A and B are shown apart, each in its own frame.
Chain A
Amino acid sequence: MQVASMHFRERAHVKLNDAVLQGNLRKIKGKFVAKRLAAIGEIEDFEATREAGRAIRQRALDDLDVWLEMFERNAGARGATVLYAQTPAEINTLVLEIAARHEVRKIIKSKSMVSEESALDHAIEAAGLTVVETDLGEYILQLNDYEPPSHIVGPALHKSKEEVADLFHVKHGTPRKTGVEELCLEARGVLRQHYLTAGMGISGGNFFVAESGSVVLVTNEGNATLTTTLPRVHVAISGIEKIVPTLEDVATLMRLLPRSATGQSISNYVDVLTGPKGEGEFHGVDHMYFIIVDSGRSEILGSDVSEALRCIRCGACMNHCPVYQNIGGHAYGWVYPGPIGSILTPMYVGLENALDLPHASTLCNQCGVVCPVKIPLPDLQRKLREREFAEDLRPWHERTGIKLWAWLAARPGLYAYASRLGMRMLHRRADAHGMIRRLPFGGGWTDGRDMPAPSGRTFRDLYAQRQRNKGVINK
């Protein structure tokens, strides 16, 4: 997917002023939050489960090489082929090679965010093959000329029912439907035929289970089950970090994932797929492949933001992020929006291509407290800010401003003098309500707000005066 993260500020501006989007965002905003809250209440000790989830994911990352080898061994023993992609381009190459090997002309896909990283659909089409997205959200986006996803769980969340109705009407050439159920049925009618005629099904992978060589898929529409069982070939694509040691671990993580994501106790479907159809078995694919993707992940693993790899892609951080709630996912300019995207995007596409993302947060830590695997998201954003600062990647005025402030604050005498002068000057700019309407060089603040003017004298001056009046020498 094309990276547009350098234009975060401009994109956010557009989104903030998009009335239709703002209406859609308002509708979904409270829903996720309330549903999650109700769902985590079902677990007696949710915090303990969170801690268990954190530990499971961390254990997997700590010995990732060991678990990957175990996975490869066990998946191989069950007849699947395990392949590795170092770069996004390699994902596409591998998929096309597999398609060629099995003479596949049509490919169906259930949701895979990793395949968005490599723009796999475009590569498939460029090779002259047909690809059909079967996740309803992804299908809507594909139909809308490959509009990028705006959320990792609900890729088309930014769209209203009405927009989808218009889209189906135009693209399907059918009478315009209005009800959600009618629209779903229409999409199902279109998609069903593809399941039966596709040679290959591509899925993502919520978890790769080392002890069994299985891939676990967590979905709500049933499309992943069809995608991974009806065609002759199944290719599961996911990152190296998605490995978990045992099925028992998956059980624990499944107590966290649907609850944190959609507020469900359990998703409608959980597929655990292990190897192709065996001797004498009736259901399943003839050939099963895993494409395990690095593409920047091993670099994160060895860095000071490695905890980001614990992510199980529930989307709770973005659902609860006040910034995301107000600008939506497209503003972030790449596959992964919101707080986790503010870490992953700079790491995957290069910090210099996403300079604003680590700063696009108030550090309110709402994301950190809802993360089911306890990723300290604000701390990681700060780590990337430190890297930007150290590498001179911030604008000069920002760097100079901070440096000057810190320099002054380290010199109390000078600081007292400068602040006394500065506050007196600012105080004089106040209007009748004590507000400053416009500040030179402070447009970032005063374009949208007044600046309450300072009282005029600093606390330290007034306090020193009070102590003198009391006959106390200030300590």
Chain B
Amino acid sequence: MRVGFFVTCLVDLMRPSVGFAALQLLEAAGADVVVPASQTCCGQPAYNAGDRADAIILARKFVGEFEGCDYIVAPSGSCSGMVRTHYAELFADDAAMLARVQALAARTYELTDFLVNVLKVKQVPGTFAGTVTYHDCCAGLREMGVKSQPRALLATMAGVKLAEMAECETCCGFGGTFSIKFGEISSRLADNKCQHVANSGAQTVVLGDLGCMLNIEGRMRRRGDTTTRVMHIAEVLAGPTADAPG
């Protein structure tokens, strides 16, 4: 099984450790992972900004890079959601391309969904001790149906106790460029999220998307909370990985 790993631009640039953790999970579950070297961005920033022409260029690039794979997996509900639920709309007027995109979209997965529903993972390599709370990232939840999968994987870890927070499905306020264009509103939404995390009593908030991670962690530190950890689900499940930089 050839699994194309789409690291996503944010993981690539900001948190390579998340990428290596995801790789470790896929490889530990027996997947033959390939990482196309020319990959960059799925095009979502352009798509959501209304820059359709550039979104199409980047979507074409992505399809070319990944369509040789049996599956495409990303450690992000947002980026995998872009491919699975939005690419087709970009090529509505291009029948040949549309067919290719639809075939690829059906094979594109968010990481935890892939681990649980395709690889049927029952145990994970990492160990973790502590109480965590899970933030459901919007695109993962509402585009990719990611809800039970990360929780099922966390439940396989003996040391993990899950304490659900209130409004775990409410947006953290990231929204891509929304977070900069409407920084004040975005910060308020992140602030609400931080409060719910704090009220849950968990020492760690776990989630599946880098955008939300940067937003929540950034607001949390600005609020003066320097102890609550914000971790990507891959990092929790994989534990510290040898390849990952600090």
Instruction: Report which A residues bind B (CB closer than 8 A).
Output: 9, 12-13, 16, 322-323, 326-327, 359-366, 368-369, 379, 382, 384-390, 394, 398-399, 402-403, 405-410, 412, 415, 419, 422-423, 433, 435, 442-445, 447-452, 454-460, 462-464, 466, 474-475
Contact = CB atoms under 8 A, between A and B. Distances in A.
B12 A442 contact: no
Given A398-B49, A410-B61, A322 B13 contact: no
Contacts, number: 217
Which 10 A-B residue pairs are closest in the complex by CB-CB distance? A362-B175, A448-B187, A385-B50, A389-B50, A406-B54, A444-B180, A449-B218, A459-B16, A364-B171, A444-B183
B51 A452 contact: no
Given A452-B217, A475-B34, A323 B189 contact: yes
A368 B138 CA distance: 12
A474 B119 CA distance: 24
Interface residues of chain A: helix, strand, loop or mixed (majority): helix
Contacts of A466: 243
Nearest to A427: B14
Contacts of A389: 49-52
B58 interface: yes
Contacts of A386: 50-52
Contacts of B54: 402-403, 406-407, 410
Interface residues of B, number: 74
B183 A445 contact: yes
A364 B175 contact: yes
Given A361-B175, A449-B219, A457 B16 contact: yes
Nearest to B57: A410
Contacts of B221: 433, 435, 449-450, 452
Interface of B: 7, 9, 11-17, 19-20, 34-41, 43, 45-52, 54-55, 57-58, 61, 89, 138-139, 142-143, 169-171, 173-192, 213-215, 217-219, 221-222, 226, 243-246
B184 A12 contact: yes
A315 to B, nearest CB: 18
Contact of A360 (B40, B41, B182): B182
Contacts of B222: 448-450
Contacts of A405: 41, 45-46
A467 B51 CA distance: 36
A419 B14 CA distance: 10
A470 to B, nearest CB: 10
Contacts of B16: 455, 457-459, 462-463
Contacts of A327: 185
B52 to A, nearest CB: 5
A403 B54 CA distance: 7
Given A364-B138, A382-B50, A474-B37, A447 B187 contact: yes
A405 B89 CA distance: 22
Contacts of B169: 366
Contacts of B34: 475
Most chain B CB neighbours (cut-off 10 Å) among A412, A452, A464: A452
Contact of B185 (A326, A368, A455): A326
Given A362-B174, A462-B16, A406 B43 contact: yes
A419 B178 contact: no
Given A362-B171, A475-B35, A16 B185 contact: yes
A387 to B, nearest CB: 7
B41 A409 contact: yes
A337 to B, nearest CB: 14
B173 to A, nearest CB: 6
A445 B171 CA distance: 17
B38 A412 contact: yes
Contacts of B173: 322, 362
A322 B170 contact: yes
A443 to B, nearest CB: 7
Contact of A394 (B50, B175, B226): B50
Contacts of A474: 35, 37
Contact of B50 (A390, A408, A447, A463): A390
